[in-house]
Amino acid sequence: MSTPYAKLPAWADYGLIPLINLSVAFIVAGFVVMLVGENPFRAAVILVEGAFGKGTGIAFTLFYATTFIFTGLSVAVAAHCGLFNIGTEGQAYIAGLGVAVVCLTFDTTLPWWLTFPLAIVAAAAVGALWALIPAYLQAKRGSHIVITTIMFNFIAASIMVFLLVGPLKPAGSQAPQTRNFLAGAELPKLNWIIELFGAKIRSAPLNVCFLLALVMAFLVWLLIWRTKLGYEMRTYGHSPKAARYAGISETRIIIIAMMISGALAGMMTLNPVMGDQHNVAIDFVSGAGFVGIAVALMGRLHPVGIVLAAILFGMLYQGGAELAFEMPAISRDMIVIIQGLVILFAGALEHMFRPYVQALFASFSPRSVGMEAVKGKGA
């Protein structure tokens, strides 16, 4: 009786339930599309075709997904340690400063494959340091990390505005951004991979950061489930009391987890800055940090889930842009509504359908939910 709901087989837990949640989100979104007088089925086709139909669409989808993988991983690492890092947005934004310094310094002298590692280190270091302050305040002073990281988003934004309209802006320029980077800070595109499969690509920003994101996803998996540090983070995340009992230092684990989270947030910067725009402009993060929260929740804090959820959100971004273009009645704001519905059903209402699915499974075969084995034989 201590566990009111039974366990589900893994494939239902990680496959079926997200699928049901997603379907419901799209059905409700369909009604919204009907309300504005458009055909929801045609809208769905445009959305999916826009994202995956052509080579260019796929490349854009994966480009957006790259950004979301980084921010999703950032949120997930902190969440495994029981910390809600809402500061991913600000940590990514301020990390733009580190990337800018490296790129502006070396883009004339070094080739991209030397600038890139330096920029990775700079982005990660600045992001980590920006997360260090709220982490320290949480660990030592008990200041709530949600509050402090939100505040730090504003501070980061203000600092970046100050720098981009002042010191970092080339003299005489009207635009609040750095000068454009030269070839030494431009990352190679990955479009040729998609072209290998026969698709045509006009011009798309998909770049090597996508591979870096996949590597980081693997490293995060390794960290969380295969290292002592990850074990300690998860222990603290589930139960601070158990962590204290196990001799895990609260201060140390909070600071380390937040710095790793901040570093991942910072690395997100590389994708749009070095892979696409080749400059650091005002507001280049544009909400990707917050999308990371949704991605992490939807991916159930698991790197594989996060990569899939990031691709889903990449699809909504790319397909949504196409949709807004094809159907004038559907504006950008409508796309935000659809994204909101996905977040609502996949994240906030995650447990809405679970009891029914469980009851269904139980009625088919109690063994599949593992109950007889658990309750029956207990000593």
Partner 1 sequence: MAQAAIELIGINKSFGAVRANRDINLEIARGTIHGIVGENGAGKSTLMSILYGFYQADSGEIRVGGKPASIKTSNDAIALGIGMVHQHFMLVDNFTVLENIILGAESDALLKKSIAKARSELERLEREYGLEVDPDAIIEELPVGLQQRVEILKALYRGAEILILDEPTGVLTPAEADHLFRILKQLKEQGKTVVLITHKLREIMAITDNVSVMRQGTMVATRETKKTTVEELAELMVGRRVLLRVEKGEAEAGNVKLAVKNLTVKDSRGVTMVDDISFDIKAGEIVGIAGVAGNGQSELLEAISGIRRAVSGSVMLDGKPIDLTGAADPGELRDRGLAHVPEDRHHVGLVLAFEENENSILGYHHDPRYLKGPFLNIDAIMADAKDKIEKYDIRPGNPRLKTANFSGGNQQKIVLAREMEQDPGVLIVGQPTRGVDVGAIEFIHKRLIAMRDQGKAVLVVSVELDEIRSLSDRILVMFAGRIVGERGPEATEGELGLLMAGVERQEAAE
Interaction site with partner 1 (CB under 8 A):
1-7, 222, 226-229, 231-232, 234-235, 238-239, 241-242, 244-249, 355, 358-359, 361-362, 366, 369-371, 373-379
| Closest distance to partner 1 from the beta carbon of 145 (Å) | 21
Q: List 189's β-bridge partners, or say none.
A: 207
| Nearest residue (CB) to partner 1, 109 versus 251 | 251
Helices (H), 36-142: 40-48, 55-80, 88-106, 112-136
* φ, ψ for residue 207, nearest 5 deg: -140, -175
To which residue do tokens 């949704």 refer? Answer: 294
| Nearest residue (CB) to partner 1, 329 versus 359 | 359
| Closest distance to partner 1 from the beta carbon of 231 (Å) | 6
Q: How far, rounded to the nearest angstrom, does the alpha carbon of residue 32 sit from its chain's CA centroid?
A: 26
| 3-state SS assignment for residue 189 | strand
| Nearest residue (CB) to partner 1, 3 versus 174 | 3
Structure token pair of residue 238: 């589930």
| Closest distance to partner 1 from the beta carbon of 265 (Å) | 23
| Closest distance to partner 1 from the beta carbon of 216 (Å) | 17
Structure token pair of residue 265: 């947030």
| Nearest residue (CB) to partner 1, 105 versus 249 | 249
| Nearest residue (CB) to partner 1, 68 versus 361 | 361
| Closest distance to partner 1 from the beta carbon of 79 (Å) | 13
**Rounded-to-integer distance, Cα 310 and Cα 198, Å:** 24
| Closest distance to partner 1 from the beta carbon of 370 (Å) | 7
| Closest distance to partner 1 from the beta carbon of 14 (Å) | 15
**Rounded-to-integer distance, Cα 325 and Cα 343, Å:** 23
Task: DSSP letter for 281, please.
Answer: B
| Nearest residue (CB) to partner 1, 171 versus 379 | 379
| Contact between residue 70 and residue 359 where contact means Cβ atoms under 8 Å apart | no
| Closest distance to partner 1 from the beta carbon of 125 (Å) | 20
Q: List 207's β-bridge partners, or say none.
A: 189
**Rounded-to-integer distance, Cα 229 and Cα 183, Å:** 39
| Nearest residue (CB) to partner 1, 238 versus 332 | 238
Q: How many CA atoms lie within 13 A of 133 on its CB side?
A: 16
Helices 17-35 and 354-364: angle between axes, nearest 10 degrees: 130
Helices (H), 239-348: 240-245, 250-267, 270-272, 288-298, 303-326, 332-343
**Rounded-to-integer distance, Cα 248 and Cα 295, Å:** 29
Structure token pair of residue 169: 């802006």
| Nearest residue (CB) to partner 1, 174 versus 365 | 365
| Nearest residue (CB) to partner 1, 20 versus 92 | 20
| Closest distance to partner 1 from the beta carbon of 327 (Å) | 43
Helices 228-238 and 55-80: angle between axes, nearest 10 degrees: 70
